[in-house]
Amino acid sequence: MSNNDHLRTKINLETASFPWSELLRHFAGGTVLVVAGELDLVEVALHMAEDRAEQIATLLNSGQLARVSDAQASEWLEQDRQLWTVVVKPWILVQHRVSHA
C-alpha cells in the first residue's frame, strides 16, 4: 500500500456521524467546512491533508467546499441534522448525505 492509500484508509476510519448541535462551538470558531453531497468526503479530506492547493481552490471556487453559512447552521439545528464528519486539522469537514432508501 502506498502512503496515499494508508492516509485514505486512516481518514476513512476517522469519519463519523455527529449531530450538528455537537459541532456548533467549532462552527462559531469558523473551522467547519461543508462538502457538497455529490463529492466523496474522504477524497476531499485527502486533498486537504495532502495540501493539494489546486484541487482545494477548484472546490472552493465552485462552491462545492465552503464555510457553513449562518442560515445553513440554523436550518441544521432546527432539523437536528446528523452530518458525516472528519477532522483535517484545523478544519472539520461536514457533509449531509441525502438517503435514497
What is the distance between the alpha carbons of residues 94 and 17, in angstroms, rounded to a whole number? 9
Q: What is the mean pLDDT of residues 1-14?
A: 89
Q: Decide which of 55 and 2 is more confident.
A: 55
Tell me what pLDDT residue 4 has: 85
- pLDDT band at residue 101, thresholds of 50, 70 and 90? very low
Q: What are the boundaries of each domain within the chain?
A: 3-95
Q: What single-letter amino acid sits at 21?
A: S
User: Which tens digits make up the pLDDT trace of 38-95?
Assistant: 999 999 999 999 999 999 999 999 999 999 999 999 999 999 999 999 999 999 999 9
CA–CA dist 4, 50 (Å, integer): 9
pLDDT at 87: 96
Model pLDDT, residue 99: 60
Are 92 and 32 in contact by the 8 Å Cβ rule? The answer is yes
